[in-house]
């Protein structure tokens, strides 16, 4: 059975003026680690709020563990854990008090499912007497995760848990998710960081309320329809400017130390000849190569295709 | 002529026993895109607040745009621009009202504000939206407007505090185009980010760890020194040893 089902879900705000979620359908299998990948305003939070029964969809049907998100809201609330994007614990309660409070809400105790949170909680235990509002960002995040897990949920919803978190803490957080997944919990996580997409089993790329692609990260990048070139030179901005003036180029954008390029007619392009052309244009230390696309390349490509398809 | 627009020597900030910024020293050159990286709690925000004239250091020296961080905070504020993801524009003012407001805060004359405002609105392609509330603009346009407003008074330096958080990958790149363009006109860009691919766009990068500057060099040299394929790896190698974690 699918742990999460969205069936043609649409959600608008402001009496229909703002279309937040536009006819979204997807399924998440039980035990899966599933990622919603997209920028702010893509509709990720609305989807989470519909699935956690905090928001009613305008149209469509949503279910969690076979329970209807509208009719069975009470049963869903007992069986899911939700970590909202904004820190939502009680700032003036201590770490231990917050955890105890959430355990009590769900009619359980911290001890009952301690094995589930043990690894994470032990890291913040030295600060158990500290008020949540006085914790660092990384520790707040760990406490919020513990509170979302204290009643041993079957499905865990994490809305941008790593936003604004540094690269080291982000890596640690994903390690924690892997461990939780091994314990059989279904995890739906959203992130604006495209590099985190590869850490999920399957992902949905979402933009302006619409799903652009749902698949495994490997298949998403394998679906990239053309060859992708990476080029760099000593002055990257000058390189970018001159590539933009080249009519044979279909798209070019900065990507780390390289510029990623796709051609309108790639058969006509020979790497060596291109490198010489660029050098002749006065670019120094030119390097060109063919590369495999990343999720971010795929996301950009899908966005561009969508924009081009619009009138 | 001195082309160093920021000079820090042994700059230190203590809060009681806690040394938030611990004897940091670096220079930033005119027109440079200078990336300021560090884990949460490394001391970036504290250092940036001092350089923006919002907080006094405990010891050490620093000048920003030629002005002293102890004695000339007001002159510093007039000569810099600032933008962050969290605060940049008033949502309930229109595009033009925001421009007029910030232009006024920075002491430009009404005539000058009008002249530059028209030019900016045209350049951004916001003619249709000029009288609309900023709240109604898509995030990407807001970002571009926020950056333009931050450099509206032609500051010597613009401080960008995680300017691209949560923005889609195309808009994020358009935003960096604006950064390159500003730097090409001689504005120095001091930028923090959690996106390691953006670190590659900087001319030079510092990585702060536990209040200290652990590394300072071009992205290429840093990658070579740490035998890393990407800035992400460099950052990870430097920051994973951090003892502190705070915001």
Mean pLDDT by 10 residues, chain B (247 residues): 87 94 96 91 91 96 97 96 84 96 94 94 92 89 92 95 86 90 94 88 93 94 93 89 64
* Residue A211 within any structural domain of the chain: yes
> What is the predicted ipTM?
0.83
Tell me whether A239 touches chain B (CB under 8 Å).
Answer: no
Report how far residue A61's alpha carbon sits from residue A71's, in angstroms, rounded to the nearest whole number: 11
For the domain covering B4-239, report its CATH number.
Answer: 3.40.50.300
A169 interfaces chain B, CB cutoff of 8 Å: yes
Task: State whether A189 and A257 are in the same domain.
Answer: no
A134 CA to chain B: closest CA distance, Å?
9
Could you give the residue ranges of the DSSP H alpha helices within chain A? 44-51, 73-79, 95-105, 114-124, 137-149, 167-182, 217-222, 236-244, 271-280, 295-309
Query: Do A164 and A277 fall into the same domain?
Result: no
Q: Do B166 and A40 touch (CB under 8 A)?
A: yes
Domain of residue A283 covers 228-292
Boundary (domain end) residue, out of A222, A240, A266: A222
Main-chain dihedrals φ then ψ at residue B195, nearest 5 degrees? -90, 115
| Residue A75 and residue A213 share a domain | yes
Residue ranges of domains in chain B? 4-239
As a whole number of angstroms, the distance between CA B8 and CA B203 comes to 18
Q: Looking at the domain assignment, is residue A275 inside a domain? A: yes
Paired tokens of B217: 């060099």
A301, part of any domain: no
Classified as helix, coil or strand, B142 is helix
Mutate which: A141, A173, A256, A261, vs B, most B CBs within 10 A = A256
A252 in the same domain as A210: no
CATH number at residue A282: 3.30.70
- Asked if A295 contacts A203 with a C-beta cutoff of 8 angstroms, the reply is yes
Statement to judge: residues A140 and A279 lie in one domain: no
Do the domain assignments include residue A192? yes
Q: Does B187 touch chain A (CB under 8 A)?
A: no
The number of helices, as runs of H, and strands, as runs of E, in chain B is 9, 10
Is residue A254 less than 8 Å (CB to CB) from chain B?
Answer: yes
- Which of A194, A222, A250 corresponds to the end of one domain? A222
Give chain A positions within 8 Å (CB) of B177.
240
Q: Which residues in chain A have their CB less than 8 angstroms from residue B180's CB?
A: 237, 240
pLDDT at position B245, please?
58
The residue written with tokens 């461990």 in the block is: A179
> Which of B86, B85, B120 lies closest to B102, judged by CA?
B120
Pairing between strand A80-83 and A287-291? unpaired
- Looking at the structure, tell me whether residues A233 and A210 fall in a common domain: no
Residues of A with CB below 8 A from B247's CB? Answer: 136-137
CA-nearest residue to A17 within chain B is B136
**Same domain membership, residue A157 and residue A117:** yes
Question: Are the CB atoms for A62 and A52 separated by under 8 Å?
Answer: no
Inter-axis angle of helices A137-149 and A167-182, nearest 10: 10
A286, A153: one domain: no
**Is A13 an 8 Å CB contact of chain B?**
no
CB contact under 8 A, B236 and A192: no
Q: How many CB pairs under 8 A join A and B?
A: 95
Could you identify the residue written with the tokens 């949170």?
A: A117
Residue of B37, B40, B219 to mutate, interface with A, max A Cβ within 10 Å: B40
* Closest CA–CA distance from residue A44 to any residue of chain B (Å): 12
Domain boundary among A222, A237, A253: A222
Chain A residues near residue B200 by CB distance under 8 angstroms = 256-257
Which of chain B's residues have a Cβ under 8 Å away from the Cβ of A195? Answer: 196, 232
Q: What is the pLDDT of residues B24-54, one digit of tens each?
A: 999 999 999 999 998 878 899 899 999 999 9
The pLDDT of residue B247: 44
Q: Are residues A190 and A237 both part of a single domain?
A: no
Q: How confident is the model at residue A24, as a pLDDT?
A: 97
- Is A111 found in the same domain as A237? no
Residue of B170, B240, B245 lying closest to A303 (CB–CB):
B170
Q: What gap in Å lies between CA A241 and CA B160, rounded to an integer?
A: 23
- Residues of chain B in contact with residue A207, where contact means CB-CB under 8 angstroms, are 168
Number of domains in chain A: 2
Residues of chain B in contact with residue A139, where contact means CB-CB under 8 angstroms, are: 245
User: Tokens 């160093």 correspond to what residue?
Assistant: B4
Residue A261 near residue A249 (C-beta atoms within 8 A): yes
Whether A297 is in a domain gets the answer: no
Please provide the size of chain B in residues: 247
Q: Please indicate, yes or no, whether residues A205 and A236 belong to a single structural domain of this protein.
A: no
Whether residues A6 and A43 share a domain: the answer is: yes
pLDDT in tens, B152-169: 999 999 999 988 887 889
Nearest to A138 among B40, B196, B197 (CB): B40
Q: What is the CA radius of gyration of chain A?
A: 23
Instruction: Select from A39, A139, A163 the Cβ nearest to the Cβ of B245.
Output: A139
How far is residue A224's CA from residue A215's CA, in Å, rounded to a whole number? 13
**Positions of chain A with pLDDT lower than 50, given as ranges:** none
């Amino acid at each position: 059975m699918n742990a999460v089902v969205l069936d043609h879900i649409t959600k608008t705000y402001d009496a229909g003026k703002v279309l937040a979620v536009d006819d979204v359908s997807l399924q998440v299998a039980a035990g899966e680690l599933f990622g919603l990948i997209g920028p702010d305003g893509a509709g990720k939070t609305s989807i989470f709020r519909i699935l956690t029964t905090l928001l009613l969809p305008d149209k469509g049907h949503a279910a969690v563990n076979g329970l209807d998100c509208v009719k069975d809201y009470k049963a869903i609330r007992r069986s899911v854990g939700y970590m909202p994007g904004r820190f939502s614990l009680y700032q003036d309660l201590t770490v231990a008090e917050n955890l105890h409070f959430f355990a009590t809400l769900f009619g359980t105790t911290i001890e009952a499912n301690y094995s589930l949170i043990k690894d994470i909680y032990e890291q913040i235990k030295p600060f158990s007497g500290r008020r949540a509002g006085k914790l660092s960002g990384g520790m707040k995040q760990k406490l919020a995760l513990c509170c979302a897990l204290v009643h041993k949920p079957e499905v865990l919803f994490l809305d941008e848990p790593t936003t604004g978190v540094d690269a080291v803490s982000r890596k640690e957080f994903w390690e924690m998710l892997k461990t939780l997944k091994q314990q059989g919990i279904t995890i739906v996580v959203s992130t604006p960081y495209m590099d985190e997409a590869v850490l999920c089993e399957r992902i949905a790329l979402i933009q302006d309320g619409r799903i652009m692609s749902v698949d495994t990260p490997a298949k998403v990048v394998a679906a990239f329809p053309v060859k992708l070139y990476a080029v760099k030179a000593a002055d990257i901005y000058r390189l970018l400017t001159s590539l933009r003036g080249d009519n044979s180029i279909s798209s070019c954008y900065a990507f780390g130390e390289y510029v990623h390029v796709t051609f309108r007619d790639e058969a006509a392009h020979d790497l060596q000849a291109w490198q010489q052309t660029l050098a002749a244009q006065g670019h120094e230390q030119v390097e060109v190569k063919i590369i495999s696309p990343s999720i971010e390349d795929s996301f950009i490509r899908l966005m561009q295709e969508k924009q081009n398809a619009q009138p | 002529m001195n082309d160093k627009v920021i000079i820090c020597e042994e700059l230190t900030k203590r809060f009681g026993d806690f040394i938030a910024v611990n004897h940091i020293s670096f220079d930033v050159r005119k027109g440079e895109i200078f990336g300021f990286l560090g884990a949460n709690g490394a001391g970036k925000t504290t250092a940036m607040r001092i350089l923006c004239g919002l907080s006094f250091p405990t010891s050490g020296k620093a000048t920003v745009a030629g002005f002293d961080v102890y004695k000339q905070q007001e002159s510093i504020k007039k000569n810099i621009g600032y933008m962050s993801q969290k605060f940049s524009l008033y949502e309930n003012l229109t595009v033009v009202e925001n421009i007029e407001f910030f232009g006024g805060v920075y002491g430009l004359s009404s005539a000058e504000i009008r002249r530059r405002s028209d030019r900016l609105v045209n350049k951004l392609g916001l003619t249709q939206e000029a009288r609309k509330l900023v709240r109604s603009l898509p995030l990407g346009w807001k970002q571009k407007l926020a950056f333009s407003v931050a450099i509206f008074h032609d500051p010597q330096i613009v401080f960008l505090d995680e300017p691209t958080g949560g923005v889609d990958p195309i808009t994020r790149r358009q935003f960096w185009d604006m950064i390159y363009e500003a730097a090409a006109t001689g504005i120095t860009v001091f930028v923090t980010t959690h996106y390691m691919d953006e670190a590659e766009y900087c001319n030079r990068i510092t990585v702060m760890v536990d209040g200290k500057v652990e590394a300072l060099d071009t992205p290429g040299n840093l990658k070579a020194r740490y035998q890393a394929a990407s800035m992400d790896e460099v950052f990870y190698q430097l920051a994973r040893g951090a003892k502190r974690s705070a915001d």
